[in-house]
Structure 1
Amino acid sequence: MRCPNCNSLDTQVKDSRPTEDSSVIRRRRVCVACNFRFTTFERVQLRELTVIKRNGRRVPFDRDKLMRSVQISLRKRQVEPERVEKMVSTIVRELETGGEAEISSEVIGETVMEHLRTLDDVAYVRFASVYRNFREAKDFADVLGELSGEEEARLAAIRK
């Protein structure tokens, strides 16, 4: 592992431990050359995924980019980071086990929206506004109507 401080390739693992859900290994490392300490995370990757963008361009799937976009939609929302991490891990696992090595950005976007809808309504609307490229207030009203319709159906089912 290359040291982020001095770029030396001579580093040592000082401590390894799994995260709470055991899906990631956290490693504390130290650079032999400059004594800089840093942390790395190791997770299982079932397959290499390629994203097919709307313009047809193909790029490698980037879990961190997915996490950043979800975090942006959740900005200033009271959602525990562990729940966000678990949701992103679930999305990635779904994409990896979906059978296809190439996935359209539309499939990824819809999958994220599906999960955000159950996590936080405001984040869902924020993400949808960017993903679906909202142009006017009516677009927001349509999504809010979908959400309120689902809520009414859920309440009606509870009342029965």
Structure 2
Amino acid sequence: MRCPSCGSLDTQVKDSRPTEDSAVIRRRRVCLSCNFRFTTFERVQLRELTVIKRNGRRVPFDRDKLMRSVQVALRKRSVEPERIEQMVSKIVRELESMGENEVTSETIGEAVMQHLREIDDVAYVRFASVYRNFREAKDFRAALDELRGDDDGPVSK
């Protein structure tokens, strides 16, 4: 592992432990050249995913981009970071377990909306407004009506 401070490859693991859900290993490391301490996270990757964008372009799947999108939707909402991490991990596992190496951006968007709907209805509407490209107030109304029609509505408070 390359040191983020000096770039040396001479680093040592000082401590390893699983996260709460045991899906990720957290490693504390120290650079033997400059003594800089840093943390890395190791997670299982079932397969390399490629995202097929709406315009037909293919790009490598980026878990961090997915995480950022979810965090933007949940900004200033009272959802614990651990819960967000668990949700993103669950989405990634679902995508990887589909058995395909290529997945459409629509599939990812629908999965995110499904999970956000269970966590926070405001975040769901925020994400839907970008994902579905809302242009008018009636688009928001339709999303809210969709939420109201769900008998197992989202939990938000």
Answer yes or no: is 1:85 the counterpart of 2:115: no
Answer yes or no: is 1:101 the counterpart of 2:73: no
Distance (whole Å) between structure 2 residues aligned to residue 42 and residue 65 of structure 1: 17
SS of the aligned residue for 1:75 comes to coil
Amino acid across the alignment from 1:75: R
Question: Is the radius of gyration larger for structure 1 or structure 2?
Answer: 1
Length, aligned pairs only: 153
Per the normalisation by structure 2, the TM-score is 0.95
Answer yes or no: is 1:9 the counterpart of 2:9: yes
Query: What is the Cα deviation at residue 68 of structure 1?
Result: 0.7
Distance (whole Å) between structure 1 residues aligned to residue 16 and residue 80 of structure 2: 24
Query: What is the Cα deviation at residue 85 of structure 1?
Result: 1.0
Matching residue of 2:26: 26
Deviations 1:20-73 (A, max 9, x none): 111100000011111100000000001110001111111111111101100000
Ranges in structure 1 where 5+ consecutive residues have no aligned partner: 156-160
Q: Whose helix proportion is higher, 1 or 2? A: 1
Per the normalisation by structure 1, the TM-score is 0.93
- Aligned-residue identity in percent: 80
Distance (whole Å) between structure 2 residues aligned to residue 59 and residue 10 of structure 1: 32
Matching residue of 2:142: 142
SS of the aligned residue for 1:103 comes to strand
Displacement over 6 Å in runs of 4+: none
SS of the aligned residue for 1:28 comes to strand
Distance (whole Å) between structure 2 residues aligned to residue 28 and residue 79 of structure 1: 26
Amino acid across the alignment from 1:68: R
Q: CA RMSD in A?
A: 1.1
